[in-house]
Amino acid sequence: MQGKKPFQDKRLASFRLSERVPRDNFYRRLKAIMDVEWLYEATQKYYGREGHKSLDPVVFFKLILIGYLENLLSDRRIIQTVSLRLDLLYFIGYSLDEPLPWHSTISRTRQLLGEEVFKELFKRVLRQCVQQGMVKGKRQALDSVHVKANASMDSLKEKEIVQDGEAYAGELGEDAEDEEQTEKQTVSVFKHQQVQWHHGWKRKAYKGRPSGGWRARFVSNHTHYSTTDGDARVAVKPGKPRQLNYLGQLSVDTAHHVITCIQADYASKKDSQCLPSLLRHTIDNVKAVGLKVKEVLCDAGYSSSEALKALKQYRVTGYIPNFGQYKPTREGFRYFAGGDYYQCSRGVRLPFKRIKDSHDGTYQMRVYRSSSLDCRNCPLRKTCIGKSDFKKIEDTVDKPLYDEMHLRLQTRKAKRMKRLRQATVEPVIGTLVNFLGMRRVNTRGIQLANKCLLMAAVCYNLKRLLKWMGEAEGKGEKTLGQLLVMLYWLPVLYSRRGEQIQTSLSYAC
């Protein structure tokens, strides 16, 4: 007989929310291991003593965690989702008949609380992972990812052209913050001409190719800024459209893939420019839990003189492939460190002449040059120097650091470290972007973006911590079961062993 279940909207006389949430529910287990009582004291200074009561800071952070754990990129959707699920209500400590906070309260509280509170929460979760034996601290894998900003390319506006940005700000008598804001909205004549020349070259180079629109091709952070989010920067990756992004930098422990540091930076920066700051914060976080960083693994994007100097300063061994322009040797030339000169195969010397800045002014180079008299009658002149009168070789002033890294990368260990880096940090980034709400930020400003990235990392570490503790409990139950089985079969094994010994004695007799 076919059954039919009619719905009756009844008012229940007795209902206990804790009894309706299963014991093995994820959020029930998460609530049991989270220590959040310290938040009341840490956030006390942000509230006054009079007026309406604010949103409970513990509830606020739990709502934020739910947003990242459920991959919800909107505060409005967080409240809607929580209102429909019993386990989420139990996690934040609300009953069925209690009204949930308004979604705009989450945004205002995120702006109110300082960045140090979010960092302290991240460090406390990291300390829990260390106590469970999940973090070794010795070896860290570093990488970056573009995080979409909460701004559209249509919000870009061309900067005002001024003769001298510093003099312009000084004449107005602005303070430091106003001067920084002015620099974001102005550009010098020289820099504007450089960008226009580059755009002219691109118009000729891409002539006849399918166009993606002028905005996608001929905009630059030097000449344009976003009126919606002034900290967002135009960035592009091969195969992806140009858009306003932030640059997320993170460090992952290679032992069990726990995030030890994460920070937001401007998308216009290179990875190598961000490495000193990321390395310093990683060392501080790991040192705070009683561990020490000894090795870092990076890709070639982190290679620069500034980055190698930072590694040497903190006494950390790095495995970073040198950037593409680096040359360990010069074909047909040999360098003599004692006299600081190059010598070609014909015996002509190229002594050191001077130090000059690179074309973009980011680093300095040592110039070695031969005499025009020595190269005048050289049979290799056309293939060596072409139409020039002399041979010139330019090396960065920090070439010894690059040479040291080049020799280290030739070892077997360096090849293992490369595979280890790819297997460690890249899956973590994929999980954060695709499943933990780090595809984009729903805030504006680099400080709020940093808070968003910190909370995404907290959620990732909490999930790994719960999985680790669950596996440990499973191993404990398995070990207990194996012990019971051994106790059951032990008398049988001893009896069989005794029979074998008795049979062997009888044969011997």
User: Could you tell me which of 255, 319, 250, 248 has the C-alpha nearest to residue 291?
Assistant: 255
Q: Which residues contact 226 (CB under 8 A, 6 or more apart)?
A: 149, 151, 155, 156, 157, 232, 244
**Contact predicate 150/442, CB 8 Å:** yes
Three-state secondary structure along 316-382?
CEEECCCCCCCCCCECCEEEECCCCEEEECCCCEEEEEEEEECCCCCCEEEEEECCHHHHCCCCCHH
Q: Which residue reads 């003189």 in tokens?
A: 305
Question: What's the pLDDT at 362?
Answer: 73
Residues whose CB is less than 8 angstroms from the CB of residue 404 and which lie 6 or more positions away in sequence, other chains included = none
Q: What value, to the nearest 5°, has the Cα angle with vertex 284 and ends 283 and 288? A: 115
pLDDT 10s per residue in the chain (509 long)? 666 777 777 776 678 888 889 999 999 999 999 989 999 999 999 998 888 889 999 999 999 999 999 999 899 999 999 999 999 999 999 988 899 999 999 999 999 999 999 999 999 999 999 999 999 999 999 999 999 999 999 898 887 776 654 544 544 444 544 444 545 666 665 555 555 555 565 555 555 555 544 444 567 788 888 999 999 999 877 777 789 999 999 999 999 999 999 999 999 999 999 999 999 999 999 999 999 999 999 999 999 999 999 999 999 999 999 987 888 888 889 999 888 999 998 889 999 999 988 776 677 889 999 998 888 888 888 888 888 889 999 888 999 999 999 999 999 999 999 999 999 999 999 999 999 999 999 999 999 999 999 999 999 999 999 999 988 776 655 555 565 556 655 565 555 555 554 544 444 44
Angle at 307 between CA 305 and CA 311, to 5 degrees: 115
Cβ atoms of residues 21 and 90 within 8 Å: yes
Q: For 205, how many CA atoms within 13 A lie in the half-sphere containing its CB?
A: 8
Q: Which two tokens stand for residue 485?
A: 């089985």
pLDDT (0 to 100) of residue 486: 60
pLDDT of residue 405: 95
DSSP 433-454: HHHSS-SB-SS-SHHHHHHHHH
Q: 476: alpha, beta or left, given left = phi > 0 and alpha = psi -120 to 50?
A: alpha
